[in-house]
């Protein structure tokens, strides 16, 4: 059987107009009481509740989405049974929505031999198609991920959280060649103490685009909450896929996000909506029906934005 290829799966979904990603950040404490699974003695089975909840969301939205993105933290929180629930979630998505890629949001980043173990865990043990990583340790350390050409390596550039700018907006030194490229694509650079500088998030985007992407399997995380940075990083990496968190509960809006992030093919986006997409149902409501409704409404907003002239 042919290996799943993240980029091929992703592009096939874009061709169908599927740009939305639901983040399965299935925090047990936020799952409605009516969805709790109980054992024979009446005790709540946390990890089984999480998997059952995910199954409901996926069953209701699998024909609409471009990707799913579970966050590792909410599964580790449930111990070994939570990791099994995560594995079962991937298997279920592969069964009912086999053409939809599945991303693990883990933000891994360590020395090379440790990353080799992470890569085996994510790709071989759990069966994910892609993973989020941070590049603080540099390309050499990230090579175990980058060397998996069929798997997606999604590198943090500008995250969606309010404190992202503490480091990501800091001016860092760049070479003359980097400064020439950034200036040519319309991203301002500065000169300090005789050296060119740009924001760290811009340099990360440049390095990933220019040097890390030999296998064509890299993407960038760029948050919807900073549309100006999103537009700048799109100029730096014009054809690279962007995983874009921050829609919905974090305040990101569909139209400015799409207009800033789309590539020259009017594609290139994995638009993530987590809490709004999975936790809008009140206790007793049909969770799948409510989730599908949220996705459809957001999908309509995205389609309207894409219909605007380039």
pTM assigned to the model: 0.96
Strand order of the β-sheet with 269-273 is: 67-68, 20-22, 269-273, 242-244, 218-222, 152-158, 130-133, 103-108
The DSSP letter of residue 4 is P
pLDDT for the residue 1 = 54
Q: Which residue among 3, 107, 158, 282 is the active-site one?
A: 107
Residue 289's nearest CA partner among 61, 70, 18, 48 is 61
| Below-50 pLDDT ranges, the chain | none
What structural domains does the chain harbor? 6-168+207-306 (3.20.20.70)
pLDDT for the residue 111 = 95
Q: Exposure of 195 by Cβ count < 10 A (0-12 exposed, 13-18 middle, 19+ buried)?
A: middle
**Integer CA distances (angstroms), 265 to 26, 209, 228, in order:** 33, 18, 20
pLDDT for the residue 42 = 86
Token duo for residue 284: 């007793």
107 is catalytic: yes
Within a 10 A sphere around the Cβ of 48, how many other Cβ atoms?
18
Q: What is the pLDDT of residues 13-51, one digit of tens each?
A: 999 999 999 999 999 999 999 999 999 888 889 999 999
């Amino acid at each position: 059987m042919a290996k799943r290829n993240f980029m091929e799966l992703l592009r096939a979904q874009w061709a169908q107009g599927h740009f939305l990603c639901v983040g399965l950040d299935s925090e047990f404490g936020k799952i409605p009481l009516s969805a709790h699974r109980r054992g024979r003695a009446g005790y709540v089975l946390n990890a089984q509740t999480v998997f059952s909840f995910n199954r409901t969301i996926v069953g209701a939205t699998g024909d609409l989405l471009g990707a799913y993105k579970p966050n590792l933290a909410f599964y580790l929180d449930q111990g070994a049974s939570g990791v099994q629930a995560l594995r079962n979630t991937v298997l279920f998505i592969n069964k009912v929505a086999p053409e939809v890629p599945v991303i693990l949001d883990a933000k891994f980043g360590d020395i090379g031999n440790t990353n080799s173990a992470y890569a085996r865990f994510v790709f071989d043990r759990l069966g994910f198609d892609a993973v989020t990583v941070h590049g603080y340790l540099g390309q050499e350390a990230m090579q175990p991920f980058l060397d998996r050409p069929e798997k997606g390596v999604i590198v943090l550039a500008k995250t969606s959280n309010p404190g992202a700018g503490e480091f990501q907006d800091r001016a860092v030194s760049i070479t003359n060649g980097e400064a020439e490229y950034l200036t040519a694509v319309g991203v301002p650079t500065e000169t300090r103490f005789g050296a060119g500088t740009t924001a760290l998030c811009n340099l990360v985007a440049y390095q990933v685009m220019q040097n890390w992407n030999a296998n064509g399997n890299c993407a960038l995380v760029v948050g919807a909450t900073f549309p100006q940075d999103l537009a700048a990083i799109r100029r730096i990496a014009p054809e690279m896929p962007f995983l874009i968190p921050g829609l919905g509960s974090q305040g990101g809006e569909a139209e400015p996000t799409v207009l800033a992030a789309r590539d020259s093919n009017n594609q290139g986006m994995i638009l993530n909506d987590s809490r709004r997409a999975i936790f809008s149902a009140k206790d007793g409501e049909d969770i799948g029906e409510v989730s599908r409704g949220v996705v459809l409404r957001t999908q309509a907003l995205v389609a309207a934005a894409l219909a605007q002239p380039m």
